[in-house]
Structure 1
């Protein structure tokens, strides 16, 4: 989105033509939008700032003058979410519309900021997206838990009995997740969630492809999170670029994750142009996430160490190219994880969790 604003003593800031798509709740409900725009004062670029822009007077009413609401339909998923676009043409705003945490425009049109330059203001503006990246992480955790639970329950109909999880309770225990959203966390988590959903769908065979059984629908709806709040590949490159410029730590590597990051950083800094490949950038993101998970486990262990060792070893083989070692997948460990990942019963609607599902599904019409 390219949106300029101007501010002079004689008039309020005014936005030129600009457009942004894939805005949540924009089509009918939103009455106010937070717009990230370039601020130009008396012809001088002052960097990106946030503006509070009224969109319509009330829900379901037409947009205000200068604002055109556009549709993004048809979408591949999240059909219940009214996503659309907005075009701003000559929209005039009072100077109070500028979010004034770091910058302000006084009554005489003079601009001032506590941040030194436009680049610093841009970085501060982008930091706002950190909170936005929490939502896909949380949604992904719930989706992966639900898919794993459905798959485990369905497997019980085909052989071993299902785990006795907390079916009648809303209390839950969760696998430790690092509360560190950002360029490293979002791509790693969203890619992993899609892998989990795909594996669960395949393990349920054709029943996993039935929309009533939730897994394929979860995957369709979650697909957008690879792009939402920043494309995964772009953010992985950002992480790699920062790592190539400066080492994350000066001491010798202590863990597998640190060794992978240290080796990649040395490799990139040893190249004349400091370049890296896509696969190398993705591997670094995986290593960063593994390091965060291991650190959180060390400070607040929620799974026994033997299970954690197995999970880390499996992750390292598939994501970091580590040497495979046999895993001891005893029934007790699987039961423990199944109960740990059991979702609250209110979100389980798939009929395949019921013991009599296969008989009911194959019953003659």
Structure 2
């Protein structure tokens, strides 16, 4: 097959490309330039789109003996990921930019261009697996190494995208194994630290970065009854579940800490309350998509058992889910959690699993705690 290897400049993408070459595929490496000013991005272990990363990607391709290109996706990255991130926070939601990047850049824009150029598949260093069922339908599954599993952030992939996705690290037992393989292959990134955090926020200060992009207006912090207990400099800077930095002027009656329960951007109000109200029992999700062919219950509207996960490295919990339509006829995913999840926020992504298989995902629009119901 003719394979386009997405080269981030890290050890995972380098080893994935090496395995694709070793498997006999015709491989071409490409690094995505996601910023017009890469020098402003983080370096070392903090980012994944820096000048150093581009150089490391080139060195890996040179070692593997494959062609190397840099594609400028900076404009689309700004529109589809950065601007979306700002807009979601401005609306009082908590977005996942890595999910949007995989959905709109790596497996939409990149794959679309790759197919137009005659490539059969895009290869990445994600820890996940693509399998086929007895009827030849493509499915997304967790990787062998659950500690590094990245199937959550790939839950947005469609059946058509899975047909053209290649994840050579699916069988890796540990990250240490991948690093050892990189060293054996003579790849200079063998000991390069993993990237983490949000790549386009240079110093890791999300609140400070947002303050420069979103107009922050002072407002009130209230309890569940609506009584004022403090003030804030901008509701958009808070996240559901937050405890630190609230600076409440009125202590709780029981003397216990209070947490952010809700952000109301239209009212510029932050709602706080006791920790037990952070445990959500029901999630409702919009922008629903299915990773592969949907299971039969999706079409019938029947309930089905599953595991629900709301963070990339969070623990999945047992749940029962079903599809309904909202007042305007749009599809809505309802997830009833057997074990409540703490601190679920609108804007996050809920990904559903059955065993190791990723069923699909939705953007959380609302969450409910039974403890808050009278």
The reply to whether TM is greater than 0.5 is no
For Structure 1 versus Structure 2, the TM-score category normalised by the shorter chain is under 0.3
Higher helix share: 1
Q: If the length of structure 2 is used for normalisation, what is the TM-score? A: 0.22
Q: If the length of structure 1 is used for normalisation, what is the TM-score? A: 0.23
